[in-house]
């Protein structure tokens, strides 16, 4: 994971992101007001509970961007690791004996 993403994750868990509420707490701002809904802008508010952001589908957009990133990473990893398929399948009979069948549908035991 990229260092900036790790930093964001840690700061969000420990409520150290520069939300307006934190900026007021740190003496950097006078009001903790959310510019979208004018409620109190905490980290939780920014990340998941601003009603204006919700109505504008900003959370959906962010959610979809995360999924796109995951799909991209999985697709890249899948392209790099593409193990060859076995040329046969092993079947086990009721008696426990193993039978081998080639993928070309020509049976061999
Ligand atoms: Zn808001």
The answer to whether position 90 is within a domain reads no
The answer to whether position 104 is within a domain reads no
CA of 75 to the centre of ligand 1 (A): 35
CA of 62 to the centre of ligand 1 (A): 16
Residue 91, pLDDT score: 75
The answer to whether position 42 is within a domain reads yes
CA of 3 to the centre of ligand 1 (A): 28
The answer to whether position 109 is within a domain reads no
Residue 90, pLDDT score: 73
CA of 38 to the centre of ligand 1 (A): 6
Which of 39, 34, 41, 44 is CA-nearest to residue 14?
44
Residue 107, pLDDT score: 47
CA of 66 to the centre of ligand 1 (A): 21
How many structural domains is the chain composed of? 1
Q: Would you tell me how many other CB atoms lie within 10 Å of the CB of residue 8? A: 13
The answer to whether position 108 is within a domain reads no
The answer to whether position 97 is within a domain reads no
The answer to whether position 89 is within a domain reads no
What string of pLDDT tens digits covers the 109 residues of the chain?
788 989 999 999 999 999 999 999 999 999 999 999 999 999 999 999 999 999 999 999 999 999 999 999 898 888 887 677 777 777 777 777 777 777 665 444 4
Residue 108, pLDDT score: 46
CA distance 42 to 29: 13
With the C-alpha atoms ordered 34, 20, 41, 70, is the resulting torsion angle positive or negative? positive
The answer to whether position 47 is within a domain reads yes
Helices (H), the chain: 3-13, 20-25, 43-44, 51-55, 58-80
**CA 14 from centre of chain:** 20
CA of 10 to the centre of ligand 1 (A): 22
Domain that holds residue 65: 3-83
């Amino acid at each position: 994971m990229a260092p900036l993403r790790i930093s964001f994750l840690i700061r969000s868990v420990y409520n150290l992101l520069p939300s307006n509420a934190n900026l007021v707490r740190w003496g950097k701002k006078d009001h903790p007001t959310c510019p979208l809904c004018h409620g109190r802008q905490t980290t939780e508010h920014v990340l998941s509970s601003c009603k204006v952001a919700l109505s504008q589908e900003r959370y959906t957009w962010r959610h979809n961007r995360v999924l796109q990133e995951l799909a991209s990473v999985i697709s890249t990893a899948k392209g790099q690791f593409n193990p060859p398929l076995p040329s046969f399948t092993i079947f086990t009979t009721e008696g426990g004996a193993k039978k081998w069948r080639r993928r070309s549908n020509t049976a061999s035991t």
